[in-house]
Structures are given as structure tokens and as C-alpha cells.
Amino acid sequence: MSSFRLPVFIKNRFSCIGFVPKESCRKILLLLALGMYSIPAYCSEFDREITLKTGFIFNFSRFGQWESNFSDKANFTLCSPDRIFVEVARKNLAKKRVGKLPIKVIETSVNDDYEACDVIFITKQFYLNWKDNFSHPVSKGVMLIGESKGFIQAGGHINFFLLGGKIRFEVSIKNLKNSGLQLSSKVLRLGKIHER
Amino acid sequence: MLQAQPRNHWLIACALLSFFYFCNTANASDPEFDLESLMSTDVQVTSAMKRAQPISNTASSIYVLTNKDLLNAGVQSIPQALNLVPGMQVRQINNNQWAITARFAGGRYSSNLLVLIDGQSVYNPTFAGVYWENIDVPIQDVERIEVIRGQTGTLWGVNASNGVVNIITKNSLDTQEGYATVSHGSDLQYDLNLRYGGTIGDQGSYRVYSHHLEEKQASEGLSPTNDTSLLNSMGMRVDYAFNDDITLFSKWNILDSAIGQTSRRVDKNTLRNGSFNESVERNKFDFLIRVEERISKKSNHMLQFSINKESGYQETLDEEFRAADLEYQINTLIGDHQIDMGLYYRYNDIELISDEYITNFGNSNKFENYGGFFQAQLNVIPDKFHLILGNMSAYNDYTGWENQPSFRTIYKISPSQTVWFNASKAVRVPSYLENNIEIQVNGSKVGEFVNTGNTTIDNTVLASYLRGSPDTEAEETISYEAGYRLTDDNYSLDLSIFKNTSNNTLTYQPSINTHAVNSAVFALLSGDVPQVLSILNNTPIYYDFFSLSTLNVTGLEAVFAFDISPKVDTELSYSVINLDYDLAPGQVAAISHDSTLTQLMAKLNVKLPHRQSLNINVKSEKGSMYSTGNIFSADIGWRWKAKPNVTLAVNAWNLFSNEYEYLNTRELHTSPTKVNKSVTASLYVEF
């Protein structure tokens, strides 16, 4: 059986690391080399951004105020045409409630009339498609959340953007009001108010 | 005088905690999706800054103070904030000077704790430490302070062998409103903070701020007290996002301070130490610019350039330094594994002018540091077992290349339980002062060594000098640390034990010209007193720096936090640290001595009706590390949000005690005073 040999340049470079004995150093490097290529590509990094945005959307929902007050509803419904977002949101919001209502996350088409939705999240991927179809009025009482430049100007209510590696959001109080919605000052004080 | 009775005070603290425990109400909070936590979370695990990861994934003793913690406790300075961190040793030398460190003994000129403000190192290269009184960061704009106790040299470089204090301020987009605070108190003439924020087009934001402070002197000290403070500073932060992936961050800060100092330094006429009341004026300018780019969902990198310029003027010493730093870092994921790499370069230029007690300034006052680090976090069993390997190779002009490798493991026993272990080597490079300069220090009378029977000879003072040496070696510390972490919805427990063994620890050894001493003895036996005096007057004692001892530091730290209810949370902590020197013959430890220090802390936060809150922090420290008696302090703060934009606060500091917290009087310019009980009242207004 042939033994594993480190390339000479690696051996010379690393075998002298401080307190780590040469043999251990080789084993660690072997582990490192094996580990690097033994595990399938990582996708949860993408999920992390979506998970954080799910958290924000949950807060917008619980600190939002709908004229209808959900008196006739059994669920609070979050919609998105983005399947990946829907999967992540379902996982993260499974046991959460908005007021007393359990949260239902559903995948919709961009062309749907969103009648059943309380919140819609339009991801970047679906933005242009949504914008083209936005000429028809969205039902009152549906909170529109996006993550694309120009989303507010296109009639959206809340738009995510990244700054310094962190998620930030801008809010149009005017657009919210036009749709019969309000947001608590707890949220507004943390966001960038679009029309001031 | 009200005497501290630690046992009774702890009983009172326990009774209070029990009371609030039985006030428990249903838990309605949702800490998982707390909006402010979401705002401060990085989108990527690989952050361009070496920010701490979620605490549960960190193989080191880390403690985070949030903006809310700082405001609740009513702290007004960074040293006061660090006093809230379990395991940190924060001793107030007098009303404007502090000795702060972790896992060692702190001093006015401690150099093993790295302090960063928004990623910019703020140490003074003369002694490689920090003048805490000039760390001026508006508390209301601090997003969080991350404190890592223990070695972090692999990521943070030399001089981080005891830990890192990473002060991170809020993005200017999050400080758009105007803000003003004004405080007045028994030890505080006034403390005024002003801030205004705005936007730059659609994609940028800024804030400008200023701070003005005047503090009174303590009522009692070892010498007549003179520890007043007068500070004025202003600064600006700009954040600009070119798009979602490229951001620019820049800031500058200027500071002008005048602190009263009872300087204990040698009088050239008497050759002995005297006390001199004087004022130290300092001017400081810091500038930083950083560009971060998200290359992909898995990678980002950043380039940072910063400048520090500081000058200090006092009666017998003018000091100035200029430092420039350039840093590049890249962080990426390969498969499931996180790779962090970086390079840095630092240029230092020091200028000291003294016609009094500094008698030699060494060979060079300009020196460079540069190096690079590599760290791989291998998720050997995803979300279960991580292995973290890394090394920093750093060059400095004094000791050449130094390596600081580390090996860390994290094992998640269950979603709520983690055990971790790390072994690492860290290096503390001798400072400019240790390497170069010669300072005249307190002289010794002949009678302190031998009684000749001749009063004139016995009272003769031998001039004494402390001499740095270019042969001083870098202090190398091998550290082993293990920890256990338990986190649940309502409580968490953090345990760690550590053992650090440092070689080449800084020592000094007195020496005298033995030939001259023999000649003096011969002259004395011959009865030639004038000749004896002539020899003695030309025979100084030298205290030369060496690196000839070994220091073993062992300790244990435990922190238990418990959210008793949505309205009541508490935290209890215990830590013990032991210093054990193994000195070479004739050597004296330059800093501290064999000693043990035990620390107990308890914190309580209570939300009261009508938007009021109460904060109680109790701390007890026992041991001889600082040559003081045992310390027991209690701070109580009350806050009332009278209107959505107006808050009133009253804080009582250091109740039950009026004692010295620090009595190491061997240090230059250090004259401790008693830490008074004090009260401050503050008004916070947003507009």
C-alpha cells in the first residue's frame, strides 16, 4: 500500500509551524486536503440571506397594520413566485404567528391577482416580470416587498438592499397608505424612509 | 464611612434576583427574529472584516455587548463598557486613567490587549498599548463591542496575546436622526454629545458628531489629586453603496484633550521621584477608508487604509507618533469550508523629546510591521464538527519573523450544546520603549543597601536608569483552552478553562559597576569620604530589560445568563486567574507578580411600567494582583423614556466603596486616587 506524500513545497512551508509536530502537521494537511473536496457544494450561504429576509418580512408582518384586521381569516398568507424563498420561509416560519394567525407560505405566479395574499415578496429574479405585469392594480391590503432597485418607484412598499454586508430596507409610507397599510414606528425607525 | 461587607451585599443581590424570579411572566418575546439582531447580522458567514461569528460557532471565549446593553447600563466611556464584560479586569487608576486587560494583570501601559475601532488598531507604538482616556467613541453610535478573551494572534497579529476588544460603530444609515445627550454628576462637570445624520443621494449616508467632556478630580489620592479631564472631539462617518456588492466606508476623528496628571517621575536635582501636578495635552487624528466587495455569494474581499497621528505635550516630555496601516483580506467558501486570508503592512514613526529623564532615544524611531494570515475552517461533519487551522506570519523590525499558528475544534453535541478546544501560539513583540530607550528613574539611597555608619554616604542617592535592550526577545505564549457552551431560549451557560505558558516574559535586573563599588569600599576603608562620594556620584544603577522568565497563567471563567421573563434578565459570572512566574536568578518581573484574582459579577435588567427600566451591576474582586484590598462595587441605573424621543437616566456608580482599585506605583506618571462614589443624571433627546 502506498503512503500519502505531501508535495515538497507544502512540506517545507508548513512542517515548521510552532508547536505542531511534523507528523501531526502532515496529518492535518491531509485532513484539510481530503476535507476540501469531500463535501458537496455549499448552498446554505444563499439560504442565509433568504433566512434573514424571511425574518425581516416576519417583522414587517407582525408590526404592520391592515385595515381588514384579518377578522375573517384563518391564516396569514405570505406569497412569492420564488420557489427557493418559499421553501426557506416555510421552514423558518413554520411555528410563527402573526397576531393569532398561523403563517401560510404559498408559491404564486407573477400573473396571479394575489387576492389570497397578505404579503408578497418579489425576488430579484422575478422583478422585471412582475413590473411588466404590475399595470393591473394589486388588491388593497397586500404588502408588496421587493429586493430590486426601482421597486419603490414601481409601486412597491418595502424594498431590501445590502449595505456593508448587512440587509437594510427602504419604505414608502405613501405607497403603504395608498394600499390601506401602516407600519409601526418600531420598524420605520430602522428603515430608510423613501419620501421625506 | 460606609464599609463594604461583601457577603451581605451578595445576599442582597441574591434576594433581589429571587424576587424578580418570582415575578416571572409568560414569555412572549421572539429573540430568534428580533429586528435589531437581524439588522446587525452579516449576510455572509465570510465577512470581509474579521468579525466574530455567531457565538455558538466560536472556539474562543467571546462576549458581546450590544448597544442596548450599553445604554441600559448608562455607560459613558469604553472603559466603563468593558467593566461589564465578565473576566475582564478593569481597574480605575484615577479619574482619567485606567488599567485594563484580560487573563493577565493590567497596567497603565499594558500591551497585550489589542483594541480596534471599526477595524482600525488604535495602539500607541511607543509602548504598544492604549491610552484609554483618549479612546473616544460616542456610546450611542456603538453597534456592539466584541471582546475575545484569550489568544487571537492568528487573525489579529502580534500584541493580541491576551485578547481583542473590537468596537464596531453603527452604519451611518442607521443614525439618520439628530441626537443629543447631556449629563451632569457629582464627578462630572458636563458630558455633551451631539450627532446629526443625513443621506448622500440615494446610495450614501453620513453622520457628524462631537463630544465635549469636563470631569472633576478625585477627592483623595496617594499624592494631592489633579486627575481632571477636559476633552473635545468631533468626527464623521460616511457609508456609500455603489451597488449591493460594493460599499465604501470612511471616517475621521479629531480629539483634543487636557488631562490633569500627578506625575511621579524623577527630579534631576534630588535623583529621587517627586510628585508634580501638571497637565497633559493630547491631540489625535484618526482616518480610515475601506472598500468592501462581494465577489460572489461565497466570497468577498476588502482593502483598508488608515492613519493614526497623535501628539502629547507635558512639562518634561513631548511625544508624537504617526502610523499608517494598509490591509487586504479575502474570505471565501470552498465547498463547505471557510477560508480567510489577509495581508497587512504598518509603518510607525515615533518622536520623543525630553530634556529631563529620557536620556537615550535608541537607534531608530521608524519601524515597520508586515505579514499575512491564512485560516481554514473545515466543516468536517457539517453543522456538527469543525476544525479550524491557521497561521499568521508577521515581520517586525525588532525580532524579525514571528509565526502564530492555531488549532481549534468545535463539536456540537446537540443544537444547544457545544464543546470547543483550541491550542495556539501568540507573540508579543517588544515595544519601542522596551527595545530602545533609556529613562532615568527613582534613585536609591546607599543606606537602602548597606549601612556604612556615615550619614552623608548613607543618604547619597545613586542615579538609576531603566534601559531597553535590542536583545529583548519576543514573548511567546502557548495557550490551551477548552470550553462548553449551552444555549437555550431563556438561558445560556458559557464555561472555559485555560492555561497559558509564556516564555521570554519581560523582566529587569539591577546592575552596578562592581569595579566602582570595590573602589568605593576601598576608599571607605581608607577613610577617604570625598573619594567615596565622588565614586558613588558617578556610579549609577542600571535596571536593564531582559526576557528571562517564564509565566504560567491558569484560569477558569463561567457566565450564566438567564432571561427570567420578557421583562427581567440576569447574568451571573465567576472567573479566577492565577499568575505564576518562574524567574531566572536575579531577575524581577517587569509587570505584576505571583498572584491570584477571583471575580464575581451579577447583572440584572428589569423593565418597569411606563417605559422605565432598572439596571444593577454588582462586582467583587478578591486578590493581591493590584496590591489593593478586595474590591466590591455596585452600579445602579434607572432610565425613563418620558416621550418617544426623550429619555432621562440617573446612574449611581461605585456604591458601597471608596477605595483604591490600583496601587502599582512603580509605573511612570501613575499616581492612583480613590475611586469615589458618584451619581450622574443624563438627558437623551432624538430630533
* CATH number of residue A86's parent domain: 3.40.50
Chain B nearest C-alpha distance from A32 (Å) = 7
The predicted structure's pLDDT at residue B233: 97
For chain B, the farthest-separated pair of C-alpha atoms sits apart, in whole angstroms, at 91
**C-alpha span between B535 and B540 (Å, rounded):** 10
Which chain B residue lies closest to A60 (C-alpha atoms)? B35
What is the average pLDDT across B602-609? 95
Q: Is B234 on the interface with A (CB under 8 A)?
A: no
Using a CB-CB cut-off of 8 Å, the residues of chain B touching A36 are 334-335, 337, 378
Using a CB-CB cut-off of 8 Å, the residues of chain B touching A194 are none
What are the phi and psi torsion angles at B387 (to 5°)? -125, 130
Residues A105 and A152 reside in one and the same domain: yes
**Choosing among B29, B30, B33, B291, which should be mutated to test the A contact, i.e. which has the most A CBs within 10 A?**
B33
Answer whether residue A2 is part of any domain: no
CB–CB of B587/B576 below 8 Å? no
Q: Is B687 on the interface with A (CB under 8 A)?
A: no
Domain of A143? 45-193
CB–CB of B170/B143 below 8 Å? yes
Q: Is B379 on the interface with A (CB under 8 A)?
A: yes
> Which tens digits make up the pLDDT trace of A143-194?
999 999 889 988 899 999 888 778 889 999 999 998 899 999 889 888 888 8
User: What three-state secondary structure class fits B81?
Assistant: helix
Chain A nearest C-alpha distance from B127 (Å) = 26
What is the average pLDDT across B211-236? 91
Which chain A residue lies closest to B244 (C-alpha atoms)? A162
Which residues make beta-bridge pairs with A185?
Answer: none
CB–CB of B545/B468 below 8 Å? yes
The predicted structure's pLDDT at residue B24: 39
For B378, which of A35, A49, A163 is closest by C-beta distance?
Answer: A35
**C-alpha span between B493 and B489 (Å, rounded):** 12
pLDDT band at A44 (very low <50, low <70, confident <90, very high): very low
- Mind spelling out the 3-state secondary structure of B122-150? CCECCCCECCHHHCCCCHHHEEEEEEEEC
The DSSP bridge pattern shows strands A76-80 and A101-107 to be parallel
Which chain A residue lies closest to B174 (C-alpha atoms)? A190
Answer whether residue A81 is part of any domain: yes
The predicted structure's pLDDT at residue A18: 44
- Long-range contacts of range B307-311, CB-CB < 8 Å, 24 or more positions apart? B308/B120, B308/B122, B308/B284, B309/B284, B309/B285, B310/B124, B310/B134, B310/B282, B310/B283, B310/B284, B310/B285, B311/B282, B311/B283, B311/B284
B334–A52: do the CB atoms touch at under 8 Å? Answer: no
Using a CB-CB cut-off of 8 Å, the residues of chain B touching A166 are 39-43, 171
> Which tens digits make up the pLDDT trace of B624-647?
899 898 999 999 999 999 998 999
Residues A22 and A94 reside in one and the same domain: no
Residues A49 and A19 reside in one and the same domain: no
Residues near B357 by beta carbon (within 8 Å), at least 6 away in sequence:
B265, B266, B268, B316, B317, B439, B440, B441
Describe the strand order of the beta sheet including A192-193 as a list of residue ranges.
Answer: A97-98, A101-107, A76-80, A119-122, A143-146, A158-163, A166-171, A192-193
Answer whether residue A3 is part of any domain: no
**Choosing among A26, A30, A39, A159, which should be mutated to test the B contact, i.e. which has the most B CBs within 10 A?**
A39
Residues A99 and A165 reside in one and the same domain: yes
For A39, which of B176, B294, B382 is closest by C-beta distance?
Answer: B382
Q: What is the rounded average pLDDT for all residues in chain B? A: 88
What is the average pLDDT across A57-82? 89
Domains of chain A: total? 2
For A55, which of B33, B199, B244 is closest by C-beta distance?
Answer: B33
Chain B nearest C-alpha distance from A85 (Å) = 15
**C-alpha span between B28 and A127 (Å, rounded):** 36
Residues A33 and A53 reside in one and the same domain: no
**C-alpha span between B364 and B370 (Å, rounded):** 18
B403–A48: do the CB atoms touch at under 8 Å? Answer: no
User: In the predicted model, is pLDDT for residue B597 greater than 90?
Assistant: yes
> Which tens digits make up the pLDDT trace of B25-49?
333 344 467 887 788 777 665 443 4
What the block records as the C-alpha cell of B337 is 469550508
Residues A82 and A142 reside in one and the same domain: yes
| Total number of residues shown for chain A | 196
The predicted structure's pLDDT at residue B291: 95
Residues A75 and A128 reside in one and the same domain: yes
Chain A with chain B: Cβ pairs closer than 8 A: 127
What the block records as the C-alpha cell of A114 is 394575489
DSSP states of A66-119: ETTTTTT-SSEEEEES-HHHHHHHHHHSTT-EETTEEEEEEE--TTS--TT-SE
The predicted structure's pLDDT at residue A41: 34
pLDDT band at B6 (very low <50, low <70, confident <90, very high): very low
**C-alpha span between B171 and B40 (Å, rounded):** 10
Residues A100 and A133 reside in one and the same domain: yes
End-to-end CA distance of chain B: 44
Give the single-character DSSP code of B430.
Answer: P
Q: Is B642 on the interface with A (CB under 8 A)?
A: no
pLDDT band at A196 (very low <50, low <70, confident <90, very high): low
Torsion angle of the four alpha carbons A74, A79, A85, A86, in this order, in degrees rounded to the nearest 10: 50
The predicted structure's pLDDT at residue B28: 36
**C-alpha span between B366 and B347 (Å, rounded):** 8
Using a CB-CB cut-off of 8 Å, the residues of chain B touching A151 are none
User: In the predicted model, is pLDDT for residue B116 greater than 70?
Assistant: yes
Q: Report the percent of chain B where pLDDT is more than 90.
A: 56
Which chain A residue lies closest to B392 (C-alpha atoms)? A17
The DSSP bridge pattern shows strands B299-314 and B61-66 to be unpaired
Q: Which amino acid is at B577?
A: I
What is the average pLDDT across B446-467? 90
The predicted structure's pLDDT at residue B53: 59
**C-alpha span between B535 and B518 (Å, rounded):** 10
Using a CB-CB cut-off of 8 Å, the residues of chain B touching A59 are 33, 35, 38
B35–A56: do the CB atoms touch at under 8 Å? Answer: yes
Residues A78 and A120 reside in one and the same domain: yes
pLDDT band at B56 (very low <50, low <70, confident <90, very high): low
> Which tens digits make up the pLDDT trace of B87-97?
999 999 988 89
- Between B532 and A22, name the one with better pLDDT: B532
A166–B171: do the CB atoms touch at under 8 Å? Answer: yes
Which chain B residue lies closest to A33 (C-alpha atoms)? B378
Which chain A residue lies closest to B39 (C-alpha atoms)? A167
Residues A117 and A183 reside in one and the same domain: yes
Choose among B643, B639, B636: nearest CA to B613.
B639
For B40, which of A28, A166, A186 is closest by C-beta distance?
Answer: A166
DSSP states of B568-590: EEEEEEEEEEEEEEEEPTT-EES
User: In the predicted model, is pLDDT for residue A99 greater than 80?
Assistant: yes
User: In the predicted model, is pLDDT for residue B246 greater than 60?
Assistant: yes
Q: Is B376 on the interface with A (CB under 8 A)?
A: yes
B174–A161: do the CB atoms touch at under 8 Å? Answer: no
User: In the predicted model, is pLDDT for residue B475 greater than 70?
Assistant: yes
The predicted structure's pLDDT at residue A23: 58
A165–B249: do the CB atoms touch at under 8 Å? Answer: no
A55–B32: do the CB atoms touch at under 8 Å? Answer: yes
Residues A99 and A146 reside in one and the same domain: yes
- B477, with CB counted inside 10 A (0-12, 13-18, 19+), is buried
> Which tens digits make up the pLDDT trace of B306-315?
999 999 998 8
Chain B nearest C-alpha distance from A27 (Å) = 12
> Which tens digits make up the pLDDT trace of B121-131?
988 888 888 89
Which domains does chain B carry? 6-231+244-686 (2.40.170.20)
Chain B nearest C-alpha distance from A120 (Å) = 19
Answer whether residue A137 is part of any domain: yes
Residues A49 and A34 reside in one and the same domain: no
pLDDT band at B652 (very low <50, low <70, confident <90, very high): very high
**C-alpha span between B354 and B319 (Å, rounded):** 9
Answer whether residue A1 is part of any domain: no
Chain B nearest C-alpha distance from A143 (Å) = 18
> Which tens digits make up the pLDDT trace of B134-172?
999 999 999 889 899 998 877 877 778 889 999 999 999
> Which tens digits make up the pLDDT trace of B408-426?
999 999 988 999 999 999 9
User: In the predicted model, is pLDDT for residue A47 greater than 80?
Assistant: no
The predicted structure's pLDDT at residue B8: 53
Q: Is B296 on the interface with A (CB under 8 A)?
A: no
A164–B241: do the CB atoms touch at under 8 Å? Answer: yes
For A41, which of B48, B171, B335 is closest by C-beta distance?
Answer: B335
The predicted structure's pLDDT at residue A138: 62
For A17, which of B298, B335, B391 is closest by C-beta distance?
Answer: B391
Which chain B residue lies closest to A191 (C-alpha atoms)? B174
For B173, which of A39, A165, A192 is closest by C-beta distance?
Answer: A192
